[in-house]
Structure 1
């Protein structure tokens, strides 16, 4: 295990995290929020001190780096980043409990949007900015950001590929261009451009600048931290519609946008995962609109709320324009199913991913055909390309781990004594990085009801869900740490 190289990478991530806090510190200085100023200033100093110690430890690091180190480095980086990223909340006493602050920042970095705050509007502007910015940097991934701007590996693309695969969501990660650093750069350019367009359209809708910035961060990272206690309910239909469109856009595999830029429109049109994603959204909206007939005053309002909530849940954003916990059971069941499926692989969305769902269905169909015709050899194909058996094995292993973690988490948090619907939706909401669940953790409630043990389990779920399970599980394996 190349501990020194891992230490150097984590130090670089912490330096980036300290730099990311500077705008929040400036906002706090402008607003003269003394407690927030103290919180960010001390946090930056602590992070820089830890980064300095790690850089000293890793001063003679060798660049040999393999898949195991990539997985471990990503898992450790996100944990360390979260442990220090919550310091501004705690030091400023805007969140009095360190564990609650950790829950909030993990929810931010993992783009979950589950909150322990009952009065979001009580936070200072600097804290609101930091809270929402954590979505943006977590959406594409802080290590992908490093790969885009820092030459951490020279010409060794194998080094960076291990990091990209460990942090990027999806059953398989491919390069857009031959150089990994160029791939990471392209991803972030697309990410920034879409975020800026979203922000400008929100400004056109007369949204205040800070609120537009925070909302754009939450939409781009598909995170869902709102700046108001009612999330998006009090904003105009125009702003709600803008958010609906951009939530859906950020739920698309970013490689599709790259293909569009390269004028490969036909390839995008024929993409099976994109077709499933679009079909699932349109079908869900149609069924919910039919089920909600008479629930709202007009058909326009019904369609707007249905589209917004379907987009918010399937992309695992978590914004809300209405209390969907009051919807009929059929509509809520559709939302629960969308919680599990999630968005496309290679997007900023969470969940099981449409790409994996396709592979599971195709693998199941192949196995049934094998039972009927044992001598027949049939490959699983995606977009007319043969899917390797390794990818199928990883998908099956992911599904097994996915189910086991949900069962274990549900059992542990049930100790607090809340209803099955509350607990099950809370686990799904955290593990799939969605945010709101149902009943006591619904869109008008929060996660402060849970005790310390349940919050720790849900923090684990958020990290495991964002990092596609395996980097976190590898950290817990004894074999990882053996020579």
Structure 2
């Protein structure tokens, strides 16, 4: 195993985090907050450690999927540990487990919170809390690939380990250019949302933090009522951009280069839009007379469907009070999630499309035993390896989900609370139902349960396996006892 390149990447991640921490320091200066000193201290700490770890370049930059997964998982853990230090050192979140929960929730774009009074935080902490969504939305290692001059041809393994969805590829021949294009699209859409929010008379601070939460499909609000107190116009703007950030970014690349016909042929995006429209229609009919009784039902239905399927987690109303049919649809959307290659979480629409087509092929084989039917997406056969990986993902997801629900059940909370708490964290959504509903928080769980949910958030964001690989004994044996050299063959 190429341990040196993992150390080098972690060093660059810490230097990037130091760079990101400049922003909350600037916010602290603007609002004259002493909390900014804690951010400055952590900035210096990250910068110093990052410099020491990346000062010496590895003998070889060649690394394989194993190293890519380990580097990715450790990067997100390190990012969260250091990113939460200002909350803990300042005393704004006194418990270290709570601090880690809040920070992991931010970087994984989950949006689940242990805070009962968000507005009590300093402005620089509110800014950093929302900005972690923006960092985690596209992925810190994708950002690293875009700006850091790493050499070698194995960096697709970093992107494969961090990017959501059943497969990942290059938009252009060079992976570094692919990463740059993705981030330019991401940044451009974020700026566009800020402009639309400012046009609705939202303050610049609110517009930035809301856009960070929307772009990263995270959902940390800066108000205790999330998005409930904002105007209908602002809620509609956020609704539209949540849906847009849930679309596969390959579609935007094709549109950017005027390949409109190919963009419209992306099958996953079609199903994504159909699921959204059908869900909005059913919920609108279900809540129109029973709960809201006005045309606002369309706005609330649209907002909550967009918020849940894209795993953003913002709320304009307490959907925990909606009829059972509407709540059932929202729970199902928690698992479906957004498109692969977007900033959204969940299992992903593409995986469900592959799964359904696999079931259809299996049924066809019962009727026509001698027929050989390939699974196709957009008219092209899917690699059998992708189908196998999708099936394994579903099995692993169910095992982790079931174990997590069982592990937190010892607290004695009701099944709906436990079930939706795990669903909301492993799918990176944020709010669940009952005791973890949109007007509640996760602060009522004990430290052990919070640690289980922290694991779920990281596993969900990293697509399970990059995190699970850290628990394999062979990995730790390699990390501690294996010395890799230039040109050495890696298994």
TM-score by length of 1: 0.97
Paired residue for 2:389, among 377, 385, 394? 394
**What residue is the counterpart of 2:147 in the other structure?**
149
3-state DSSP class of the match of 1:117? coil
1:7 aligns with 2:44: no
**What residue is the counterpart of 1:18 in the other structure?**
18
**What residue is the counterpart of 1:200 in the other structure?**
195
3-state DSSP class of the match of 1:293? helix
**What residue is the counterpart of 1:303 in the other structure?**
298
**What residue is the counterpart of 2:259 in the other structure?**
264
**What residue is the counterpart of 2:50 in the other structure?**
51
Paired residue for 1:184, among 169, 179, 186? 179
Q: CA deviation at 1:30?
A: 2.4
CA distance in structure 2 between the aligned counterparts of 1:51 and 1:406, rounded to whole angstroms? 35
- Whether the 8 Å contact between 2:160 and 2:168 is mirrored in structure 1 is yes
Within-5 A mapping of 1:115-264? 115-153=113-151, 156-157=152-153, 159-264=154-259
Q: CA deviation at 1:482?
A: 4.7
Q: Which moved more, 1:19-28 or 1:438-447?
A: 19-28
CA distance in structure 2 between the aligned counterparts of 1:267 and 1:108, rounded to whole angstroms? 34
**What residue is the counterpart of 2:456 in the other structure?**
461
The gaps in structure 2 that reach 5 residues or longer are: 479-491
Q: Which moved more, 1:233-242 or 1:254-263?
A: 254-263
3-state DSSP class of the match of 2:288? coil
CA deviation map 1:314-361 (0-9, x unaligned): 000000000000000010000000000000000000000000000000
Q: CA deviation at 1:254?
A: 0.3
CA distance in structure 2 between the aligned counterparts of 1:432 and 1:88, rounded to whole angstroms? 27
Q: CA deviation at 1:60?
A: 4.1
CA deviation map 1:64-121 (0-9, x unaligned): 2111101111011101111111001001111111111110010000000000000000
- Whether the 8 Å contact between 1:116 and 1:448 is mirrored in structure 2 is yes
1:356 aligns with 2:351: yes
- Whether the 8 Å contact between 1:115 and 1:448 is mirrored in structure 2 is yes
Q: CA deviation at 1:308?
A: 0.1
**What residue is the counterpart of 1:85 in the other structure?**
83
1:450 aligns with 2:445: yes
CA distance in structure 2 between the aligned counterparts of 1:338 and 1:64, rounded to whole angstroms? 40
CA distance in structure 2 between the aligned counterparts of 1:122 and 1:310, rounded to whole angstroms? 29
TM-score by length of 2: 0.96
- Whether the 8 Å contact between 2:165 and 2:340 is mirrored in structure 1 is yes
Paired residue for 1:341, among 312, 336, 343? 336
- Whether the 8 Å contact between 2:287 and 2:293 is mirrored in structure 1 is no
- Whether the 8 Å contact between 1:28 and 1:126 is mirrored in structure 2 is yes
Q: CA deviation at 1:62?
A: 1.8
CA distance in structure 2 between the aligned counterparts of 1:466 and 1:316, rounded to whole angstroms? 11
Q: CA deviation at 1:402?
A: 0.4
Q: CA deviation at 1:297?
A: 5.0
**What residue is the counterpart of 2:107 in the other structure?**
109
CA distance in structure 1 between the aligned counterparts of 2:476 and 2:267, rounded to whole angstroms? 40
CA distance in structure 2 between the aligned counterparts of 1:167 and 1:293, rounded to whole angstroms? 41
Q: Which moved more, 1:40-49 or 1:405-414?
A: 40-49
3-state DSSP class of the match of 2:346? coil
Within-5 A mapping of 1:310-459? 310-459=305-454
**What residue is the counterpart of 2:65 in the other structure?**
67
**What CA RMSD, in Å, does the superposition of the two structures yield over aligned residues?**
1.1
Paired residue for 1:273, among 268, 274, 277? 268
CA distance in structure 2 between the aligned counterparts of 1:435 and 1:297, rounded to whole angstroms? 24
Number of paired residues? 478
Q: CA deviation at 1:298?
A: 5.0
